[in-house]
Structure 1
Amino acid sequence: MEGRKIVVPGETIVQGDDFLPGEGTRREGQNILANRYGLAETNAKLIRVIPVSGAYTPRRGNAIIGTVTNITFRGWLIDYGGANEGFLSVAEVPRYVGKGELRDCFDFGDVIFAQIWGADGGNLDLSVKMREFGKLTGGQLINVNPNKVPRIIGKEGSMIHLIKDATKCNITVGQNGIVWLRADKIDDEINARKIIDFICDHSSIAGLTEKVEEFIKKELKIEVKVRERREESFDEKNQENEGEKN
């Protein structure tokens, strides 16, 4: 198989014993078939189908963005856009929080960047103990399809660095499809949002980095420094386990 292509469930992607079935695929005899609708790609003979739409599936180790909706004596309830709320225990913050101090740490409506350390039966246990996690102050939130997150981050963070270089924005990407933007100028936040929207609208095409650079230069009239490029992969393993902050 050359390049990437859209496939539907049951469609034969490739034939032959040289290929291995990966995520979203199965083998039937000599054929590797798609288990779901999405974008098929090959990586070192491994065939997989990356979903192009669908809800976020929480996984242990994921980094997500959410909003404090309720406070109990044991911690905070966090709305991350899923069916249930996540729970951040007072034991999972980097400092001691005494009784009556919870609102001093995180208050109603606060936006936080947190890591999932437990995901069982739809219940999410969150942590902000590591230094890269915590409250996100100011800025704005945008919602994207969670399956577009790997494209927004890019190979080894290449795409997110391109956006930051062009807009001077601080950007945090949650794997649940919530993105936080903050810049000194509102116009820079608007431009960052336009770039992210462009990436999401064109996420299935090859050579996306070049298309984004062209969009930034021609549509936004911003000169960008071209970084050394590496071969793009639609779904990076490290992006399944980590979000991107600042």
Structure 2
Amino acid sequence: MIYVENKDLVIPGEVLADDEYYSGRGTFKENGKICSSLMGLVSLRNKKIRVIPLKSKYVPKKGDVVIGKIKDVRFSMWDVDINSPYSGILPAFEVFGREKKELNKVFDVGDVLFLRVVDVDEVKKVKLGLKGRGMGKFRGGIIVDITPTKVPRLIGKKGSMINMIKDKTNCKIIVGQNGLVWVKGEEDMEQLTKDIIHMIEAEAHTSGLTNKVKNKLYLAIDGELPQEDDYSDDYEELEKPKLQNFKEELEQEEKEEQSKKDSTDFYKVIEELKKKNKKDKPLSYGNNSGNSYILNNR
């Protein structure tokens, strides 16, 4: 008996099936039951059950740009591995409309493409397309695989990190939101870029990472450390808005204090006028117009 369905999200220790099934990766057997050993998605194939971890895998969303590898050519579409528990499909009409062509003469098994996620349905069927700037087949270069959640750190604030690497290595670099990175340049620069990318992945949680990366690049290429700090650390930049907000709060407090002081001075003037009024007639306020107060002497 099986207690879960294909692509169900499960947690460690959750019972998946009786031992009439085969225990695959991400599972273990206990007391005649197959249980999950991690948090992930159930994968059922024939009588084999396994769990694919979520932590290191990409969950596609409409509009994402991804790097994928053709794994099968069918009659009217390509099956694409997008580094996810969910496979992608690239329909033929997304590539050449109604025109009929032999698909394997356009893209064949093993080809690596830069694609856009066109749609993701309720059962996580991922439809891909090639509409967009730079979309299509990669020629040459290497693919570097990182944890998808580390992609923003690799790119950096406003592209600062990735642009620094491009500028120094003269490599072409394209980053997919699914954690795959295409790098093309001189062979030694490709390897250096790969090492740098893995360094960023491993130390993504640390501060001062931008300067560490810059120093490693300069030492590897120029043999010496940079003379000037051309790139500030992303974490430091992210803290600036907080300081600015704090300054605005202080300025607002000063304005409020000044307003109270002005109000106090105003009433002091009224009291002085009362004392100087020989007829001792009461003073009254007029209307407040444009923050200009009018005194009426009755």
CA contact (8 A) 1:67 1:112 kept: yes
8 A contact 1:155–1:230 mirrored in 2: no
3-state DSSP of counterpart to 1:161: helix
Secondary structure of residue in 2 paired with 1:77: strand
In structure 2, relative to structure 1, the CA distance for the partners of 1:84 and 1:111 (3 Å cut) is same
Residue 67 (structure 1) aligns with: 69
**Structure 1 pair 227/136, CA: closer, same or farther in 2 (3 Å)?**
farther
Task: Tell me by how many angstroms 1:162 deviates.
Answer: 0.8
Letter in 2 for 1:115: R
Q: State the partner residue of 2:34.
A: none
Quote the residue 2:215 is aligned against: 214
1:124 corresponding residue in structure 2: 126
Stretch of structure 1 that moved more, 173-182 or 218-227: 218-227
Q: Which has the larger radius of gyration?
A: 2
Given residue 207 of structure 1, which amino acid in structure 2 is its aligned partner?
G
Relative to structure 1, is the Cα distance of residues 75 and 200 closer, same or farther in structure 2, using a 3 angstrom cutoff?
Answer: same
Q: What SS class does the counterpart of residue 160 from structure 2 fall into?
A: helix
- Corresponding position of 2:169: 167
1:151 maps to 153
Question: Unpaired segments of 5 or more residues in structure 1?
Answer: 1-52, 235-246
* C-alpha distance in 1 between matches for 2:168 and 2:115: 26
Counting matched residue pairs gives: 180
How big is the shift at 1:226? 5.8
Relative to structure 1, the CA distance from residue 54 to residue 91 in structure 2 (aligned partners, 3 Å threshold; closer, same or farther) is: same
Match of 2:116? 115
Describe the superposition over 1:63-94 as per-residue Cα deviations: whole angstroms up to 9, x where unpaired: 1111111112222110112223201112222x
Q: Deviations over 1:98-123 (max 9, x none)?
A: 33432232111110010101112221
Aligned position for 2:195: 194
Deviations 1:192-217 (A, max 9, x none): 11111111111001222112112222
The 1-side partners of 2:222 and 2:195 are apart by 13
CA distance in 2, matches of 1:113, 1:153: 17
Residue pairs, 1:1-246, within 5 angstroms: 53-93=55-95, 95-96=96-97, 98-120=99-121, 121-183=123-185, 185-221=186-222, 227=230, 229=232, 231-232=234-235
CA RMSD in angstroms, aligned pairs only: 2.3
State the secondary structure of the residue aligned to 2:212: helix
State the distance in 2 between where 1:91 and 1:67 align.
18
SS in 2 for 1:82: coil
Give the Cα separation in 2 of the matches to 1:221 and 1:97.
53
**1:54 Cα offset (Å):** 3.5
Using structure 2 for the length normalisation, give the TM-score: 0.55
User: What fraction of aligned residue pairs are identical, expressed as a percent?
Assistant: 36
Whole-Å separation in 1 of the counterparts to 2:131 and 2:143? 23
Distance 2:154 2:94 in 1: 28
Asked whether the equivalents of residues 112 and 133 of structure 1 are also in contact (C-alpha less than 8 Å), the reply is yes
Question: Does the 8 Å contact 1:86/1:126 carry over to 2?
Answer: yes
SS in 2 for 1:118: strand
